[in-house]
Amino acid sequence: MARVSIFASKFIILSLLSSFATILVTGDQDHEFVRSMDRKLLGLKKEKLSHFKLYWHDILTGPNPSAIQVVPPANTSKTAFGLVRMIDNPLTLGPEMSSKLVGRAQGFYAQASQEDIGLLMAMNFAFIEGKYNGSTITVLGKNTVLSTVREMPVIGGSGIFRFARGYVQARTHKFDLNTGDATVEYNVYVLHY
């Protein structure tokens, strides 16, 4: 009986060592929740670079504002640190509000800097025009409003813009000091399939 238990314990130890060796050899490719895929299975073709020039209208005043304050500043800082605004801003082809509407910038921006006017921007450019209708480009980054040109990353998208990456450049076209309303030119450079 003692021989059987010694043999069994050696067999168990050998089996365990063999299992660990197999895990080390196969690495992290042997998980049930992940696998490599051919991009053609998702209908992904050749990657291309697209450039969009849009105008973003941040309207704080009037009967139908497109940006509303949802969190007031937490203190009396000169930068309004802590302020959060929810947005549903029109995206047009030209700088005038009467220009053709091609989508909406939906999300929020928050005053995230105590030193300057530095906004955290989190928004989807939701398109409503042509083959882009229903597709989105997602932008997340810092917008130092008083800089001439601000750059923020494109971190993804949906529809035509699945797997999107790239960046946007924002330039203030018009800013009304009395109302806070602004029109910003956005140049979007996006790699997508």
Report how far residue 141's alpha carbon sits from residue 35's, in angstroms, rounded to the nearest whole number. Answer: 31
What tokens appear for 22 in the block? Answer: 């197999």
If we measure between CA atoms, which residue out of 160, 159, 125 comes closest to residue 140? Answer: 125
pLDDT digits (tens, 9 = 90+) for 142-178: 999 999 999 999 999 999 999 999 999 999 999 999 9
Strands (E), 38-98: 48-58, 67-71, 84-92
Mean per-residue pLDDT for 174-189? 97
Q: Can you tell me the mean pLDDT for 37-61?
A: 90
The arithmetic mean of pLDDT across residues 63-88, rounded, is 93
Q: Is the pLDDT of residue 100 over 90?
A: yes
Instruction: Look up residue 91 and give its DSSP letter.
Output: E
Residue 100 to residues 49, 55, 92, 171: CA-CA distances in angstroms? 23, 10, 5, 20
- Contact between 87 and 105 under an 8 Å Cβ cutoff? The reply is yes
How would residue 57 be classed by pLDDT, with cut points 50, 70 and 90?
very high
Average pLDDT over residues 123-141: 98
Q: H or E segment at 92?
A: strand 84-92
Q: pTM for this structure?
A: 0.80
